């Protein structure tokens, strides 16, 4: 296998222990302790990163608060836009380096990191750069009881200091989903990237520093969930938390927010139902469904992990799915031939292989994959895997796996199908493959999910809201909806009576 050579910029970037980004400066962690970043393709330790603890959280939140109350509050909307556009340009100009860093720390194929994350990140920042001059209040025709002439208007003000806590599956674009609206609304933030993938966030901070924002508008604390994430989530000077990650930690975040009644938005797990109708274009549906589960090694909150296929087209669909699974080239993300990289960590690999063993014990039928591929060394690789669990009895048809493991089930009655699709604690995404317009709209309306994809999957756009029903989260990110999550609305009354 031919591994892509790292650029000289990336080599230089990785050669020194990475510090914390606080108040516009690179500072040593108060613990003086650093932790290694592991390459999941070969288990090598290729960088050292600061371990932030509570004292660093205090310093970063203090810097963010000072910037919020100080210099940043005087920056006009148009100027915020300009700075954000500059940041987007810097991200784009650094795209090869960023994509190499993402591929190294996360494992995903370089081209997916390049197009699926870096390009998208620049576009997200650009989308939000359009917002600062468009965040408007309204004038409201009120009817005061005393009959006075009264002017009432609203303003939208930035909520304050935001804690951005993000996971490892899309290490860079998850930062942008949160940093974009924070900057657009005039908030300041402290980012805590995942411990598995801290380097792309550090690189982002370097670009941020170059863009010319005032100091303290954006701060980055690398470290672990318990020692850095938890004190950040509980901090009394943090006004809002935006979190993406497990439902389990989402609950802890919500509890931590209660102390000072922080605003909270949560993007959590999923077990998304994907439905193939008997009239669907099966070739297209099977390809879309395979991509929907195997993209990013299946480590996607919206992974198309529960596939409901009409019994009349089950055999053909399984055949097509097996073909797509077999067509994947599993290998290191920096090998240009690779289409599926390793899972992110040993912990994730254990979860996924554990589910495969459990499914076999519970009687699910293995259609393809299911093994750790041989000949790839010690990396956390896993074959793209398809199980058939017609009657939906194995736990792989209910629980989030977060790996390249698809569970296929069959159905014959639409009423029963809709019930089964909605019978989940999650409600993040759902999909329908059909050529029947009436069916498409009717079923889409009945699915309890924040995103419904008809004849497509994983279409996400910065202009369109994203988020989950039920235990998949609180609130929506992206689009105009997210602006409310980062602002407070003030209602002003002025008595105009003489
Ligand atoms: P996690 O939820 O523990 O980690 C996400 C982020 O939260 C990381 O930055 C982590 O350091 C931080 N964190 C952890 N504990 C915290 C705490 N007590 N307070 C504040 N921050 C904390 O996810 P993990 O353990 O990496 O993965 C476990 C499972 O979660 C996966 O197998 C998958 O099922 C799910 N997951 C879902 C994601 C999504 O996009 N919805 C992303 C990552 C994981
Ligand atoms: Mg965890």
- Write the CATH number for 405: 3.40.309.10
Residues 255, 350, single domain; the answer is no
Residue among 200, 249, 404 to mutate when testing ligand 1 (max atoms within 8 A of CB): 249
Residue 224 alpha carbon, nearest atom of ligand 1: 11
The CB density around residue 417, as the number of other CB atoms within 10 Å, is 20
Give the single-character DSSP code of 284: H
Rounded to the nearest angstrom, the distance between the alpha carbon of 285 and the centre of ligand 1 is 31
Whether 359 is covered by a domain: the verdict is yes
Lining residues, ligand 1, CB within 6 Å: 165-167, 169, 192, 194-195, 224-226, 229-230, 233, 244-246, 249, 252-253, 267-269, 301, 348, 351, 400, 402
Whether 495 is covered by a domain: the verdict is no
What pLDDT is recorded for position 12? 98
Residue 167 alpha carbon, nearest atom of ligand 1: 5
* Atom 28, ligand 1: residue with shortest CA distance: 246
Residues 214, 251, single domain; the answer is yes
Residues 300, 228, single domain; the answer is no
* Atom 32, ligand 1: residue with shortest CA distance: 402
Q: How many domains does the chain have?
A: 2
Q: Is residue 162 within 8 Å of residue 107, measured between CB atoms?
A: no
Q: Give, in degrees to the nearest 5, the angle at Cα 134 between 128 and 135.
A: 90
Residues 370, 461, single domain; the answer is yes
What pLDDT is recorded for position 1? 55
Residue 195 is among the residues annotated as catalytic for this protein:
no
Which ligand neighbours the alpha carbon of 165 most closely? 1
pTM of the predicted model over 0.85: yes
Whether 345 is covered by a domain: the verdict is yes
Which ligand neighbours the alpha carbon of 250 most closely? 1
Residues 321, 224, single domain; the answer is no
Query: Which has the closest alpha carbon to 395: 303, 305, 276?
Result: 305
Whether 5 is covered by a domain: the verdict is no
Rounded to the nearest angstrom, the distance between the alpha carbon of 19 and the centre of ligand 1 is 22
What pLDDT is recorded for position 488? 98
- What is the three-class DSSP state of 388? strand
Side-chain-side CA neighbours of 238 within 13 Å: the count stands at 32
- Out of 162, 175, 187, 301, which one is annotated catalytic? 301
Query: Which has the closest alpha carbon to 383: 391, 375, 393?
Result: 375
Residue 268 alpha carbon, nearest atom of ligand 1: 41
Structure tokens given for 299: 């480590």
Backbone angles phi, psi at 246, to 5 degrees: -75, 155
Residues 65, 32, single domain; the answer is yes
Residues 49, 138, single domain; the answer is yes
Sign of the alpha-carbon torsion through 57, 61, 66, 67:
positive
Residues 262, 366, single domain; the answer is no
- Could you read off the pLDDT tens digit of each residue along the chain, which spans 498 residues? 578 899 999 999 999 999 999 999 999 999 999 999 999 999 999 999 999 999 999 999 999 999 999 999 999 999 999 999 999 999 999 999 999 999 999 999 999 999 999 999 999 999 999 999 999 999 999 999 999 999 999 999 999 999 999 999 999 999 999 999 999 999 999 999 999 999 999 999 999 999 999 999 999 999 999 999 999 999 999 999 999 999 999 999 999 999 999 999 999 999 999 999 999 999 999 999 999 999 999 999 999 999 999 999 999 999 999 999 999 999 999 999 999 999 999 999 999 999 999 999 999 999 999 999 999 999 999 999 999 998 899 999 999 999 999 999 999 999 999 999 999 999 999 999 999 999 999 999 999 999 999 999 999 999 999 999 999 999 999 999 999 999 999 999 999 998
Whether 135 is covered by a domain: the verdict is yes
Side-chain-side CA neighbours of 495 within 13 Å: the count stands at 7
Residues 319, 393, single domain; the answer is yes
Residue 368 is among the residues annotated as catalytic for this protein:
no
Rounded to the nearest angstrom, the distance between the alpha carbon of 105 and the centre of ligand 2 is 17
Q: Is residue 283 within 8 Å of residue 315, measured between CB atoms?
A: no
* Atom 16, ligand 1: residue with shortest CA distance: 225
Whether 2 is covered by a domain: the verdict is no
| Residue carrying the six token digits 């935006």 | 242
* Atom 26, ligand 1: residue with shortest CA distance: 167
Which ligand neighbours the alpha carbon of 226 most closely? 1
Structure tokens given for 370: 């299911």
CATH number at residue 62: 3.40.605.10
* Atom 34, ligand 1: residue with shortest CA distance: 402
The CB density around residue 6, as the number of other CB atoms within 10 Å, is 18
Rounded to the nearest angstrom, the distance between the alpha carbon of 249 and the centre of ligand 1 is 6
Encode 33-65: b = buried (16+ Cβ within 10 Å), e = exposed.
Answer: ebbebbbbbeeeeebbbbbbbbebbebbbbbbb
Determine the Cα–Cα distance for residues 264 and 363; give it in Å rounded to an integer. Answer: 41
Which ligand neighbours the alpha carbon of 245 most closely? 1
Boundaries of domain holding 385? 273-465
Q: Is residue 229 within 8 Å of residue 165, measured between CB atoms?
A: yes
Whether 4 is covered by a domain: the verdict is no
Residues 198, 282, single domain; the answer is no
Average pLDDT, the chain: 97
Residues 346, 483, single domain; the answer is no
Rounded to the nearest angstrom, the distance between the alpha carbon of 431 and the centre of ligand 1 is 25
Query: Which has the closest alpha carbon to 127: 138, 119, 137, 139?
Result: 119
Residues 393, 314, single domain; the answer is yes
* Atom 15, ligand 1: residue with shortest CA distance: 225
What pLDDT is recorded for position 301? 98
- Out of 38, 105, 117, 267, which one is annotated catalytic? 267
CA 30 to chain centre: 29
* Atom 38, ligand 1: residue with shortest CA distance: 245
Whether 188 is covered by a domain: the verdict is yes
Structure tokens given for 461: 């756009």
């Amino acid at each position: 296998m031919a591994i892509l050579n790292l650029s000289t910029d990336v080599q230089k970037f990785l050669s020194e222990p990475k510090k914390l980004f606080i108040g516009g400066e690179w500072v040593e962690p108060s613990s003086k302790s650093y932790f290694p970043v592991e390459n999941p393709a070969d288990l090598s330790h290729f960088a050292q990163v600061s371990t932030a603890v509570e004292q660093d959280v205090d310093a970063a939140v203090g810097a963010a608060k000072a910037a919020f109350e100080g210099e940043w509050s005087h920056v006009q909307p148009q100027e915020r836009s300009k700075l954000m556009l500059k940041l987007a340009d810097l991200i784009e100009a650094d795209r090869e380096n960023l994509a190499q860093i993402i591929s190294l720390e996360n494992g995903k194929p370089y081209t997916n990191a390049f197009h699926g994350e870096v390009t998208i990140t620049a576009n997200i920042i650009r989308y939000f750069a359009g917002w600062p001059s468009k965040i408007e209040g309204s004038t409201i025709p009120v009817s005061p009881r005393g009959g006075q002439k009264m002017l009432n208007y609203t303003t939208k003000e930035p909520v304050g200091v935001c804690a951005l806590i993000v996971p490892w599956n899309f290490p860079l674009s998850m930062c942008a989903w949160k940093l974009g609206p924070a900057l657009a609304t005039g908030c300041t933030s402290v980012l805590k990237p995942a411990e598995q993938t801290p380097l792309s966030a550090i690189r982002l901070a370097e670009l941020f520093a170059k863009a010319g924002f005032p100091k303290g508008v954006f701060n980055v604390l690398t470290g672990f969930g318990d020692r850095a994430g938890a004190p950040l989530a509980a901090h009394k000077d943090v006004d809002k938390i935006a979190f993406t990650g497990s439902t389990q930690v989402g609950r802890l975040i919500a509890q931590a927010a209660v102390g000072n009644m922080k605003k909270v938005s949560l993007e959590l797990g999923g077990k998304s139902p994907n439905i193939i109708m008997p009239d669907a274009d099966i070739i297209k549906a099977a390809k879309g469904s395979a991509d929907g589960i195997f993209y990013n090694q299946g480590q996607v909150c919206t992974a198309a992990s529960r596939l409901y296929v009409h019994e009349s087209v089950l055999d053909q669909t399984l055949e097509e799915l097996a073909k797509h699974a077999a067509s994947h080239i599993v290998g290191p993300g920096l090998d240009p031939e690779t289409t599926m990289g390793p899972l992110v960590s040993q912990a994730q690999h254990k979860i996924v292989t554990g589910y495969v063993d459990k499914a076999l014990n519970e009687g699910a039928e293995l259609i393809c994959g299911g093994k750790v591929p041989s000949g790839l060394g010690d990396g956390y690789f896993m074959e793209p895997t398809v199980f058939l669990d017609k009657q939906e009895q194995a736990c792989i048809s209910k629980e989030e796996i977060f790996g390249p493991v698809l569970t296929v089930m069959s159905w014959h009655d639409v009423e029963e199908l809709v019930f089964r699709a909605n019978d989940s604690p999650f409600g993040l995404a759902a999909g329908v493959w059909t050529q029947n317009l009436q069916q498409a709209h009717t079923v889409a309306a009945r699915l309890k999910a924040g995103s419904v994809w008809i004849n497509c999957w994983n279409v996400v756009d910065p202009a369109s809201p994203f988020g989950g029903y039920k235990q998949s989260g609180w609130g929506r990110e992206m689009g105009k909806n997210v602006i409310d999550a980062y602002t407070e609305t003030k209602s002003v009354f002025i008595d105009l009576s003489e």
